[in-house]
Structure 1
Protein backbone atom coordinates (compact mmCIF):
# COMPACT_ATOMS: atom_id res chain seq x y z
CA UNK A 1 0.00 0.00 0.00
CA UNK A 2 1.29 3.45 -0.89
CA UNK A 3 1.97 5.75 2.04
CA UNK A 4 -0.23 8.88 2.09
CA UNK A 5 2.80 11.19 1.79
CA UNK A 6 4.24 9.15 -1.09
CA UNK A 7 0.88 9.32 -2.88
CA UNK A 8 0.75 13.11 -2.29
CA UNK A 9 4.16 13.63 -3.89
CA UNK A 10 3.40 11.24 -6.77
CA UNK A 11 0.39 13.45 -7.57
CA UNK A 12 2.71 16.41 -8.23
CA UNK A 13 5.03 17.01 -11.16
CA UNK A 14 8.02 15.64 -9.26
CA UNK A 15 10.43 13.93 -11.63
CA UNK A 16 11.40 10.44 -10.56
CA UNK A 17 14.90 9.02 -10.85
CA UNK A 18 14.66 5.33 -11.67
CA UNK A 19 17.60 3.05 -11.03
CA UNK A 20 17.79 -0.34 -12.74
CA UNK A 21 20.58 -2.87 -13.22
CA UNK A 22 22.48 -3.22 -16.49
CA UNK A 23 23.31 -6.74 -17.74
CA UNK A 24 26.73 -6.57 -16.06
CA UNK A 25 25.13 -5.47 -12.76
CA UNK A 26 26.16 -1.82 -13.05
CA UNK A 27 23.54 0.77 -12.07
CA UNK A 28 21.57 2.65 -14.71
CA UNK A 29 19.60 5.73 -13.63
CA UNK A 30 17.21 7.81 -15.72
CA UNK A 31 14.61 10.51 -15.04
CA UNK A 32 10.99 9.39 -15.44
CA UNK A 33 7.46 10.70 -15.17
CA UNK A 34 5.55 8.92 -12.42
CA UNK A 35 2.07 8.62 -10.97
CA UNK A 36 0.12 6.35 -8.69
CA UNK A 37 -1.90 3.62 -10.36
CA UNK A 38 -3.92 2.10 -7.55
CA UNK A 39 -1.37 0.96 -4.98
CA UNK A 40 1.39 0.73 -7.57
CA UNK A 41 3.58 3.33 -9.24
CA UNK A 42 3.29 3.78 -13.01
CA UNK A 43 6.15 4.83 -15.24
CA UNK A 44 6.09 5.06 -19.02
CA UNK A 45 8.82 4.14 -21.45
CA UNK A 46 9.47 2.93 -24.94
CA UNK A 47 9.24 -0.86 -25.22
CA UNK A 48 12.84 -1.18 -26.44
CA UNK A 49 14.59 1.41 -24.26
CA UNK A 50 17.52 0.45 -22.07
CA UNK A 51 15.37 0.79 -18.95
CA UNK A 52 12.63 -1.45 -20.40
CA UNK A 53 15.19 -4.09 -21.37
CA UNK A 54 16.79 -3.87 -17.93
CA UNK A 55 13.42 -4.20 -16.17
CA UNK A 56 12.26 -7.15 -18.27
CA UNK A 57 15.48 -8.97 -17.39
CA UNK A 58 15.58 -7.90 -13.72
CA UNK A 59 12.41 -6.22 -12.39
CA UNK A 60 14.01 -4.74 -9.26
CA UNK A 61 14.06 -0.93 -9.05
CA UNK A 62 15.01 1.94 -6.82
CA UNK A 63 13.12 5.17 -7.36
CA UNK A 64 13.71 8.55 -5.80
CA UNK A 65 11.59 11.69 -6.03
CA UNK A 66 12.02 15.17 -4.64
CA UNK A 67 8.89 17.07 -3.73
CA UNK A 68 8.64 20.26 -5.83
CA UNK A 69 7.29 22.06 -2.74
CA UNK A 70 10.02 20.85 -0.40
CA UNK A 71 13.33 19.59 -1.82
CA UNK A 72 14.30 18.47 1.70
CA UNK A 73 11.51 15.89 1.68
CA UNK A 74 12.91 13.11 -0.51
CA UNK A 75 10.89 10.01 -1.35
CA UNK A 76 12.87 6.78 -1.56
CA UNK A 77 11.21 3.65 -2.94
CA UNK A 78 12.37 0.13 -3.62
CA UNK A 79 10.26 -2.40 -5.41
CA UNK A 80 9.86 -4.39 -8.58
CA UNK A 81 7.94 -4.18 -11.81
CA UNK A 82 4.93 -6.42 -11.25
CA UNK A 83 3.09 -5.78 -14.52
CA UNK A 84 3.55 -4.36 -18.01
CA UNK A 85 0.64 -2.66 -19.74
CA UNK A 86 0.53 -2.18 -23.50
CA UNK A 87 -1.88 -0.96 -26.16
CA UNK A 88 -4.95 1.17 -25.45
CA UNK A 89 -4.83 0.49 -21.71
CA UNK A 90 -1.27 1.82 -21.60
CA UNK A 91 -2.17 4.92 -23.61
CA UNK A 92 -4.90 5.81 -21.09
CA UNK A 93 -2.30 5.86 -18.33
CA UNK A 94 0.35 7.56 -20.49
CA UNK A 95 -2.07 10.34 -21.45
CA UNK A 96 -3.14 10.88 -17.83
CA UNK A 97 0.50 11.18 -16.74
CA UNK A 98 1.37 13.44 -19.70
CA UNK A 99 -1.55 15.73 -18.87
CA UNK A 100 -0.14 16.14 -15.38
CA UNK A 101 3.35 17.04 -16.63
CA UNK A 102 2.74 18.85 -19.94
CA UNK A 103 -0.99 19.60 -19.94
CA UNK A 104 -1.88 17.48 -22.98
CA UNK A 105 -1.91 13.89 -24.26
CA UNK A 106 1.38 12.26 -25.16
CA UNK A 107 2.44 12.37 -28.80
CA UNK A 108 1.74 9.21 -30.76
CA UNK A 109 5.04 9.56 -32.66
CA UNK A 110 6.66 7.01 -30.35
CA UNK A 111 5.38 3.72 -28.99
CA UNK A 112 4.93 3.64 -25.20
CA UNK A 113 4.31 0.98 -22.57
CA UNK A 114 3.64 1.31 -18.86
CA UNK A 115 5.49 -0.52 -16.10
CA UNK A 116 3.65 -0.87 -12.79
CA UNK A 117 5.96 -0.97 -9.79
CA UNK A 118 4.93 -2.92 -6.71
CA UNK A 119 6.36 -0.99 -3.74
CA UNK A 120 8.32 -3.07 -1.22
CA UNK A 121 9.90 -0.25 0.81
CA UNK A 122 9.07 3.43 0.98
CA UNK A 123 10.16 6.39 3.04
CA UNK A 124 9.57 10.12 3.01
CA UNK A 125 11.93 12.71 4.48
CA UNK A 126 15.56 12.53 5.44
CA UNK A 127 16.71 8.93 5.65
Structure 2
Protein backbone atom coordinates (compact mmCIF):
# COMPACT_ATOMS: atom_id res chain seq x y z
CA UNK A 1 0.00 0.00 0.00
CA UNK A 2 1.41 3.36 -1.01
CA UNK A 3 1.28 5.93 1.79
CA UNK A 4 3.33 8.77 0.32
CA UNK A 5 1.86 12.14 1.17
CA UNK A 6 -0.56 10.97 3.85
CA UNK A 7 -0.39 13.14 6.95
CA UNK A 8 -1.64 11.37 10.07
CA UNK A 9 -4.54 13.28 11.64
CA UNK A 10 -5.01 13.55 15.37
CA UNK A 11 -8.20 12.13 16.89
CA UNK A 12 -9.96 15.50 17.24
CA UNK A 13 -9.32 16.28 13.57
CA UNK A 14 -10.67 12.87 12.54
CA UNK A 15 -13.81 13.48 14.61
CA UNK A 16 -14.30 16.88 12.96
CA UNK A 17 -13.82 15.38 9.50
CA UNK A 18 -16.25 12.52 10.20
CA UNK A 19 -18.91 14.90 11.54
CA UNK A 20 -18.53 17.03 8.41
CA UNK A 21 -18.98 14.03 6.15
CA UNK A 22 -22.00 12.82 8.11
CA UNK A 23 -23.69 16.16 7.46
CA UNK A 24 -22.63 16.50 3.81
CA UNK A 25 -22.93 13.00 2.37
CA UNK A 26 -26.13 11.31 1.28
CA UNK A 27 -25.36 7.60 0.88
CA UNK A 28 -24.31 5.02 3.45
CA UNK A 29 -23.77 1.28 3.09
CA UNK A 30 -25.89 -0.60 5.63
CA UNK A 31 -24.78 -4.08 6.68
CA UNK A 32 -27.25 -6.31 8.47
CA UNK A 33 -27.34 -9.98 9.25
CA UNK A 34 -29.93 -12.69 9.71
CA UNK A 35 -29.23 -15.96 11.55
CA UNK A 36 -30.81 -18.03 8.75
CA UNK A 37 -30.02 -15.95 5.67
CA UNK A 38 -26.59 -14.52 6.50
CA UNK A 39 -25.23 -11.04 5.75
CA UNK A 40 -26.96 -8.41 3.67
CA UNK A 41 -25.58 -5.07 2.48
CA UNK A 42 -27.35 -2.22 0.71
CA UNK A 43 -26.78 1.50 0.11
CA UNK A 44 -29.39 3.86 1.55
CA UNK A 45 -29.85 7.60 1.75
CA UNK A 46 -29.16 8.89 5.23
CA UNK A 47 -29.56 11.92 7.42
CA UNK A 48 -27.30 12.80 10.36
CA UNK A 49 -29.23 14.67 13.07
CA UNK A 50 -26.18 15.46 15.21
CA UNK A 51 -26.53 12.33 17.30
CA UNK A 52 -27.94 9.57 15.10
CA UNK A 53 -28.14 8.34 11.52
CA UNK A 54 -31.66 8.16 10.04
CA UNK A 55 -32.40 6.00 6.99
CA UNK A 56 -35.54 4.79 5.30
CA UNK A 57 -36.31 1.50 3.57
CA UNK A 58 -39.33 -0.45 2.43
CA UNK A 59 -41.09 -2.03 5.40
CA UNK A 60 -40.87 -5.39 3.61
CA UNK A 61 -37.19 -5.19 2.54
CA UNK A 62 -34.52 -7.68 3.60
CA UNK A 63 -32.88 -4.84 5.53
CA UNK A 64 -36.07 -4.24 7.54
CA UNK A 65 -36.58 -7.97 8.18
CA UNK A 66 -32.97 -8.39 9.28
CA UNK A 67 -33.06 -5.42 11.65
CA UNK A 68 -36.23 -6.69 13.30
CA UNK A 69 -34.44 -10.01 13.96
CA UNK A 70 -30.96 -8.66 14.73
CA UNK A 71 -30.72 -4.89 15.39
CA UNK A 72 -26.91 -4.70 15.41
CA UNK A 73 -25.74 -2.97 12.22
CA UNK A 74 -22.62 -1.55 10.66
CA UNK A 75 -22.71 1.54 8.45
CA UNK A 76 -19.96 2.60 6.05
CA UNK A 77 -19.48 5.78 4.05
CA UNK A 78 -18.58 5.07 0.45
CA UNK A 79 -15.00 6.41 0.18
CA UNK A 80 -12.50 3.53 0.52
CA UNK A 81 -9.54 5.88 1.01
CA UNK A 82 -11.23 7.99 3.70
CA UNK A 83 -12.85 5.15 5.65
CA UNK A 84 -15.67 5.80 8.13
CA UNK A 85 -17.36 2.83 9.84
CA UNK A 86 -20.14 3.22 12.40
CA UNK A 87 -21.57 0.46 14.57
CA UNK A 88 -24.72 0.54 16.63
CA UNK A 89 -28.16 -0.90 17.17
CA UNK A 90 -31.00 0.02 14.86
CA UNK A 91 -34.31 1.26 16.17
CA UNK A 92 -37.28 1.00 13.79
CA UNK A 93 -40.11 3.48 13.29
CA UNK A 94 -43.00 2.70 10.92
CA UNK A 95 -43.64 5.71 8.70
CA UNK A 96 -46.77 6.61 10.69
CA UNK A 97 -44.81 6.60 14.00
CA UNK A 98 -41.58 8.35 13.04
CA UNK A 99 -40.84 11.54 15.01
CA UNK A 100 -42.00 14.46 12.88
CA UNK A 101 -38.72 16.36 13.16
CA UNK A 102 -36.75 13.40 11.76
CA UNK A 103 -39.20 12.79 8.92
CA UNK A 104 -39.28 16.49 7.98
CA UNK A 105 -35.48 16.74 8.02
CA UNK A 106 -35.20 13.59 5.90
CA UNK A 107 -37.75 14.91 3.39
CA UNK A 108 -36.00 18.29 3.35
CA UNK A 109 -32.62 16.77 2.56
CA UNK A 110 -33.80 14.45 -0.20
CA UNK A 111 -36.95 16.08 -1.58
CA UNK A 112 -38.81 12.81 -0.95
CA UNK A 113 -41.21 12.05 1.87
CA UNK A 114 -41.77 8.30 2.38
CA UNK A 115 -44.79 9.04 4.58
CA UNK A 116 -46.85 10.06 1.53
CA UNK A 117 -46.01 6.99 -0.53
CA UNK A 118 -48.59 4.28 -1.15
CA UNK A 119 -46.29 1.53 0.15
CA UNK A 120 -45.21 1.33 3.79
CA UNK A 121 -41.73 2.46 4.75
CA UNK A 122 -39.65 1.94 7.84
CA UNK A 123 -37.43 4.67 9.25
CA UNK A 124 -34.31 3.28 10.85
CA UNK A 125 -32.39 5.21 13.52
CA UNK A 126 -28.86 4.22 14.52
CA UNK A 127 -27.06 5.96 17.38
CA UNK A 128 -23.41 4.99 16.88
CA UNK A 129 -21.70 3.15 19.72
CA UNK A 130 -18.37 2.79 17.90
CA UNK A 131 -16.88 4.86 15.09
CA UNK A 132 -13.65 4.07 13.25
CA UNK A 133 -12.01 6.45 10.77
CA UNK A 134 -8.75 6.29 8.85
CA UNK A 135 -7.01 7.43 5.68
CA UNK A 136 -4.48 4.87 4.60
CA UNK A 137 -2.02 2.82 6.63
CA UNK A 138 -0.56 5.70 8.67
CA UNK A 139 -3.95 6.18 10.36
CA UNK A 140 -4.76 2.56 11.18
CA UNK A 141 -3.37 3.04 14.68
CA UNK A 142 -5.88 5.15 16.57
CA UNK A 143 -8.70 4.55 14.10
CA UNK A 144 -11.31 4.18 16.88
CA UNK A 145 -12.64 7.70 17.47
CA UNK A 146 -15.85 6.82 19.34
CA UNK A 147 -16.17 4.14 21.98
CA UNK A 148 -19.32 3.23 23.94
CA UNK A 149 -21.17 6.14 22.30
CA UNK A 150 -18.64 8.80 23.37
CA UNK A 151 -16.29 10.67 21.04
CA UNK A 152 -12.74 10.15 22.31
CA UNK A 153 -11.95 13.83 21.70
CA UNK A 154 -13.98 16.87 20.82
CA UNK A 155 -13.19 18.27 17.39
CA UNK A 156 -11.56 21.67 17.04
CA UNK A 157 -14.15 24.31 16.21
CA UNK A 158 -14.35 25.50 12.65
CA UNK A 159 -14.01 29.17 13.58
CA UNK A 160 -10.93 28.60 15.78
CA UNK A 161 -12.65 29.19 19.12
TM-score by length of 2: 0.62
1:85 paired residue among 93, 109, 119: 93
| Counterpart residue number, 1:106 | 113
| Counterpart residue number, 2:77 | 65
Shift of 1:65: 0.2
Task: Write out aligned runs for 1:1-127 (5 A).
Answer: 3-24=15-36, 26-66=38-78, 72-81=81-90, 83-86=91-94, 87=96, 89=98, 93-101=102-110, 104-106=111-113, 108-109=116-117, 110-126=119-135, 127=140
TM-score by length of 1: 0.76
Runs of 4+ deviating beyond 4 Å: none
Q: String of CA shifts for 1:28-87, please: whole Å, max 9, x gaps.
A: 0000111223412111112221101100100011110035xxx62121111111x32231
Shift of 1:96: 2.6
RMSD over aligned Cα, in angstroms? 2.4
Structure 1 window deviating more from structure 2 (50-59 vs 115-124): it is: 115-124
Stretches of structure 1 that go unaligned for 5 or more consecutive residues are none
Stretches of structure 2 that go unaligned for 5 or more consecutive residues are 1-14, 141-161
Native 8 Å contact 1:62 1:78 kept in 2: yes
Native 8 Å contact 1:20 1:55 kept in 2: yes
